[in-house]
Chains A and B, each alone.
Chain A
Amino acid sequence: MYKRIVGKGHLPYAYLKIKLEFEDGALEPEIEAAMFKYFITQAIQSLHGEIGASHSVDVLKFRKRHLEAILRVSCSFLSKLWSSLTLVGNYKGQVCAFRVQQVSSHLMALSSNSRELNVS
């Protein structure tokens, strides 16, 4: 019995669920969606320069209260975006960090997170 599997290459987009964290007890600044995107674009530009900034990063959803967002990038640019998010260290002088919670090439997969399940 043979089964023929045809790989069609990777999907065009990758989706990331990220959260911007500040230090415990520090006052979290209010960040608008536009500001949030600008912050990400700057992070990319500081690490990868003009070439990095030329790729488009879409913020699909932004939850202002939790500072959580869902980003969409082309698959080939994922590792560059991710590394620039990793090396972000401060927002306007305040210590902060991006926590990448989930990465997937299907948007649907971000609807739940198996790691946050509490098995009782």
Chain B
Amino acid sequence: MANFMDFNVQISEKQHLAKTLAMAAKLGYSVAAVNHCAPSIDSIVKKKKKDKDYHAIPLPETLKVDAETLKNIMAGTKKFRQLSRFSTIMEDVAQLQKLNTPEIQAFDLVAVQPLTEKIFHVAVSSLKIDIITVDVTQKLPYPIKRPLINVALERGIYFEIQYSPAIRDSTSRKYMIANAQTLIRVCKGKNVIISSGCLKAMDLRGPHDVANLGLLFGMSQEQAKAAITTNCQSLLLHSESRKITKSTVGVVHKTKLEEKDKWIIEQNSANSKNKSESRLTDSESRKTDNDNSKSVKRVLDGRQSDDIIEVKKFKLDVKCMEANDIKSDVIK
């Protein structure tokens, strides 16, 4: 059975939050993301601490409830996982760069709610985010166009519709239906997730109810179900890849291996020769983008596998080319 996920549970007091998560587990969700919403990113980044508006970005871990409470929540359900999520409202292009700070990127999910068309454009095409939130409490401030949606499809960014404001009052219900229908008409039901955005446990609705709500917005049955299951799953994978971009694979001689990485060889010596060789070529082939890798590979093939030690993951902020030069030197 598919896992149901809810990617927007608003942060509240720990006691309330535990209650809400328990309700989510009871209704059949297996993943819930606790959302920290910053009304404006200006107030949290690069401001003096003396400033009145200053509030620090919390650590992703502090959003979640502790392990013991989670155990109580999980009683009766097979598995339940909580995630952390950061979301903010964007109104100025100058604010965009601030999203790239490591504090924000450390969250499991990063969401942005653009207020102008320009920011929507940038958010879709170049920002390091996972989710674009569509405001459901007011009229859409910008038109959504198909070419931009195509870009989002390509980059694996998802659009989010929240349903719980609609439960609270009838004006936002009107806007929610209107905005959701517009969005789904333009993107043909793809790349949409439906989440709660709930403040209280009673704002949550069961996953099947939410899937049915998708039908109201003009999705097909499969799309509506995908909006709370498979789309969320691929969103998780996308956030994973957001965190590990700018990493590459390197080859180091075993004599030059650092002390803390020695365990790799011990484990590998048990493996057969063929296995280690094929693993190397595998990882080498990932770097198809430059010629260097080819030569490296050739060198590797000519050598005995005992000489070549391990594929090690470097986290690099410098360009890949530089990294490759270093590596080929080591081998020669």
Residues of A within 8 A of B (CB): 21, 23-24, 46-47, 79-80, 82-83, 85-89, 95-97, 99-100, 103
Contacts and interface: CB of A to CB of B under 8 A. Distances in A.
A113 B25 CA distance: 18
Contact of B209 (A46, A47, A86, A96): A86
Given A89-B167, A89-B168, A95-B200, A83 B205 contact: no
Nearest to A46: B170
B202 A97 contact: yes
User: What secondary structure prevails in chain A residues at the interface with B?
Assistant: mixed
Given A83-B216, A89-B168, A95 B202 contact: yes
Contacts of A103: 208
Given A79-B215, A100-B206, A100-B209, A87 B200 contact: no
B323 interface: no
Interface residues of B, number: 22
A86 B230 CA distance: 22
Given A83-B212, A83-B213, A83-B215, A99 B206 contact: yes
Given A82-B209, A86-B210, A100-B208, 7 more contacts: A24-B19, A79-B212, A83-B212, A86-B163, A87-B167, A89-B167, A95-B202
A46 B169 CA distance: 12
Contact of A87 (B19, B173, B204, B208): B173
Contacts of A82: 209, 212
Nearest to B26: A99
Contacts of B201: 23-24
B148 interface: no
B166 interface: yes
Contacts of B200: 23, 95
Contacts of B27: 99
B319 to A, nearest CB: 51
Given A87-B167, A89-B167, A23 B212 contact: no
6 contacts: A24-B201, A82-B209, A86-B163, A88-B167, A89-B203, A100-B206
Interface in B148-194: 163, 166-168, 170, 173
